[in-house]
Chains A and B, each alone.
Chain A
Amino acid sequence: MKPTPFIQICDLEKSFPLKRGLFAHLYQQQGYKNPHVHALNGINLSIEKGEALCVVGETGCGKSTLARVLMGLIAPSKGQIYYQGQRIDNLTHNERMPFRKSMQMIFQNPYTSLNPRMTIFQTLSEPVSFHNAKLTKEQVDDKVAELMLSVDLNPDLSDAYPHEFSGGQRQRISIARALSVDPDFIVADEPLASLDVSVQAQVLNLMKDKQQQHNLTYLFITHDLTVVKHFANRVVVMYLGQVCEIADANTLFTQAKHPYTQALISAIPRLDNNAITPIKLAGEVPTPLHKPTGCAFQARCHYANDRCRNEVPIPMQIDVSTLIACHAVEEERL
């Protein structure tokens, strides 16, 4: 039997009601239909200890929702999440407390993820003293200084407010905050999206270092495939709330199978000018509200046939590490 995965996500679904408020609630009780937006549609995923799993996809594919559901910021509509074999998705805020120390998150926007009215010391010391009530004031001070040093920030700056730092420095403070409770799993939701290229490299290197030092497991969410190639062990490609392809990072970039993954990879802006022409996808990205029948990607896919238009493809194990949900691959039409 396979050992329990570090984190396992089973049949995870999340839908948001389109209309909210008292009247929508009453109408629904009367039997009126309130349309839902399906952000996640049956996600199955397992994360192994020590790996960096990247989730890639375009706007609206549900990758951020996945992160928030996983961290318990929003409740799933259906499905289960297991952390080292223990179910965590149905726990209350207090029941989840033991897992808070081991699961942390780094956010996309370094300008809103730090409280503007708290100094860096306050931001970092709060979780430290909260989770280690026994520490004396000096020990907390030491720990905060240590944290700031570990992300290459001068501890003398600890009494400054976030607005006095640059974007990259703020993102390093966010990383320090996540590390302050010594987690073993970190969800990073587009941590580089609002940073400049030269600063992205700093943050990415730092995250990589921390992974080695603390034996961290990452779920790294991004839309930037060049980062994925550099950072990930395995990659999950998502499209409209569904998993298209799961593969090793190397395999994905050399022999992507799913037509959507192929299009994504071909569209990366490259420096070697004319090497690859991007695959043109037909049509527009459908919104989760107007989801096509059958395969979510069929309307834009060049290989779609009648089966794709009617039947939802089931993820299929191609080899040891590759999982693909595509009729065309299954029928070897590709």
Chain B
Amino acid sequence: MALLEVKNLNVSFGAKHNAVPVLFDISFILHRRERIAIVGESGAGKSTLGFALVNLLSKPGHIHSGTVKLDGTNLTTLTSPQMQKIRGKRIAMIFQDPMVTLNPVITIGKQMVEAIRAHTSINRHDAKKIVLEKLAQVQIPAPDIRFDQYPHELSGGMRQRVIIATALLLTPDIIIADEPTTALDVTIQAEILELLKSMCEENNVALILITHDLGVVSRVAERTMVMYAGRIVEEGPTLEIINDPQHPYTQGLLNALPQMTLAGHKLNQIPGSMPSLSDRPNGCAFHPRCQYAIEKCQIKQPNYIYSGISTVACHVLEDMISETSSSDSAFLNDGKDVL
């Protein structure tokens, strides 16, 4: 059985009559111990999705329809005290800026002990033992000294390690990491990613990694979902997406990377920029920037098609597939059935 099952999740901002939809029809499944990545540029709605999963949308945002099921329990209908029990205990979150999570005036040890005691009845002494153990696990040198230090006394990489240790304290089922390495330098970033990956493996934790960096994705995630303007446009195994992207946006995104071009050559750019959520184009949101766009793309939102390996939402691709294998339509499935 799937650990986390998201089905037809729609999120809107604003009051009922003039609500702006920000997430459209998000469906995916996360299995135990699986590491998936949500990739997209700024404004794609990837962070909103992260918050929606744990019911933490800030005020004007709300879940319009759809379900988020954790082991069969629908999270969208839980009351906030019930949800509070799940956050931290079963689903932990890691943010880009560690200082969002760490209180600057309390020592890190005390914060971590409190985090344990908020969810369990472990006494202070045992809690401290667990904290020290976890700090050692994330390779923090001299954990007993760090225990009594304040967040500002640690470097950025060290703080992110503390955050990871905090997330692991109660051995959650899922960690949602929202751009965990964006604020860090490359050498530290590599270490933190490595750590995050091995920690998830060792502790049987599933990971949802939210990032804009395809390089980061390829290092950590087994499956990848690409988001554009609030919708998942392509979903599949990471290697497949990187080596053989189907959706024109994924292709454009990959080709725009400097490492995909020969030195001295012009980079392959996608014209224009991501539309803001308030004036999302009709039909496929990507069509104004898409070089393959056909008339249909301006009118109708494409359905999900399953190509055998990955799931894509694109009219052009759908037409191509139905032309080549019109006789054998067994390949074509509605995405919703597959997911």
CA distance A208 to B261 in the complex (A): 14
Q: Is A229 within 8 A of B258, CB to CB?
A: yes
Contact with B along A198-209 (1 / 0, CB 8 A): 111110110010
Segment of A94-102, A121-129, A276-284 engaged in the interface with chain B: A276-284
Residues of chain A contacted by B215 (CB below 8 angstroms): 226, 268-271
* Complex alpha-carbon distance, A170 and B188, angstroms: 31
Neighbouring A residues of B269 by C-beta, 8 Å: 198, 201-202, 205
Q: B191: CB under 8 A from chain A?
A: yes
Chain B contacts with A in 243-275, Cβ cutoff 8 A: 252-254, 256-261, 263-264, 266-271, 273-274
A sample of 19 cross-chain residue pairs with beta-carbon separation below 8 angstroms, ordered by A number, consists of A58-B188, A197-B41, A198-B270, A199-B41, A201-B268, A204-B258, A204-B267, A227-B258, A230-B267, A267-B186, A269-B190, A269-B193, A269-B216, A270-B218, A271-B242, A271-B259, A278-B190, A285-B155, A285-B185
- Whether the pair B157, A271 counts as a contact (CB closer than 8 A) is no
Bound-state CA distance A284–B194 (Å) is 16
Q: How large is the interface on A (under 10, 10 to 19, 20 to 34, 35 or more residues)?
A: 35 or more
- Per the bound structure, the CA–CA distance linking A192 and B260 in Å amounts to 17
Whether A278 and B242, one on each chain, are in contact in the complex, defined by CB atoms closer than 8 angstroms, is: no
CB distance from A172 to the nearest CB of B (A): 11
Contact in complex: A198, B219 (CB < 8 Å): no
Shortest beta-carbon distance, B155 to chain A, in Å? 5
Nearest residue (CB) in B for A208 is B266
**A278 to B185, Cβ gap below 8 A?**
no
Q: Which of A201, A264, A273 contacts B256 (CB 8 A)?
A: A201
The interface size of chain B toward A, counting residues with CB under 8 Å, comes to 44
Taking CB as reference atom, which chain A residue is nearest B255? A201
Tell me whether A230 and B218 are in contact in the complex, defined as CB-CB below 8 angstroms, given that A205-B269, A264-B187 are known contacts: no
Tell me, in angstroms, the Cα distance from A202 to B42 when the chains sit together. 16
Minimal beta-carbon separation of B151 from chain A (angstroms): 15
The interface residues of chain A lying within 8 Å CB-to-CB of B185 are 58-59, 223, 285
User: Which residue of B186, B193, B256 is within 8 Å of A268 (Cβ)?
Assistant: B186
Nearest A residue to B270 via CB reads: A198
CB of B218 within 8 A of CB of A269, answer yes
Smallest distance from the beta carbon of B280 to chain A beta carbons, Å?
Answer: 14
Q: CB distance B273 to A166 under 8 Å?
A: yes
A residues at B contact (CB < 8 Å): 58-59, 166-169, 196-202, 204-205, 208, 223, 225-227, 229-231, 249-250, 263-264, 266-273, 278, 280-281, 284-285
On whether the beta carbons of A198 and B252 are closer than 8 Å, the reply is yes
In the complex with contacts A204-B267, A273-B218, A226-B273 CB distance below 8 A: no
| B170-195 with Cβ < 8 A to chain A | 185-191, 193-194
B219 touching A273, Cβ below 8 Å: yes
Residues of A within 8 A of B41 (CB): 196-199
Name which of B157, B188, B190 has the most chain A CB atoms within 10 A of its CB.
B190
**Which residues in A have their C-beta under 8 angstroms from that of B186?**
58, 223, 225, 264, 267-269
> With the chains together, A203 CA to B185 CA distance in Å?
22
List residues of B whose CB falls within 8 A of some A CB.
41-42, 155-158, 185-191, 193-194, 212-216, 218-219, 238-239, 242, 252-254, 256-261, 263-264, 266-271, 273-274
Assess the A226–B270 pair: CB atoms within 8 A: no
- Contact yes or no, B188 A270, CB < 8 A: no
Cβ B270 vs Cβ A229 within 8 A = no
Q: Which residues of A contact B155 (CB under 8 A)?
A: 284-285
Distance between A321 CB and nearest chain B CB, rounded to angstroms: 16
Assuming A197-B212, A201-B270, is B257 touching A226 (CB within 8 A)?
A: yes
| Contact (A271, B267) CB under 8 Å given A168-B273, A278-B187 | no
B256 close to A263 (CB less than 8 A): no
With a cutoff of 8 Å between Cβ atoms, the chain A residues found around residue B267 in the complex are: 201, 204-205, 230
- The complex places the Cα of A226 from the Cα of B254 at a distance, in Å, of 13
Question: Which A residues touch B189, using CB under 8 A?
Answer: 267, 269
Residue pair B187, A230 in contact (C-beta under 8 Å): no
Contact B266 A205 (CB under 8 A): yes
Contacts A273-B219, A273-B242, A285-B188 given; 10 further ones with Cβ under 8 A? Answer: A199-B273, A201-B267, A201-B270, A226-B215, A267-B186, A268-B186, A268-B259, A271-B242, A280-B191, A285-B157
CB neighbours of A229 from chain B (8 A): 258-259, 263
Closest chain B residue to A204, Cβ basis: B267
Measured between beta carbons, the chain A residues less than 8 angstroms from B270 are 198, 201-202
Whether B213 lies near A269 (C-beta < 8 A) is yes
Instruction: Report chain A residues within 8 Å CB of B258.
Output: 201, 204, 226-227, 229-231
Residues of B close to A167: CB separation below 8 A: 42, 273
- Asked if A271 meets B218 with Cβ closer than 8 Å, knowing A168-B273, A197-B256, the reply is yes
**What's the minimum C-beta distance from A247 to chain B, rounded to whole angstroms?**
14
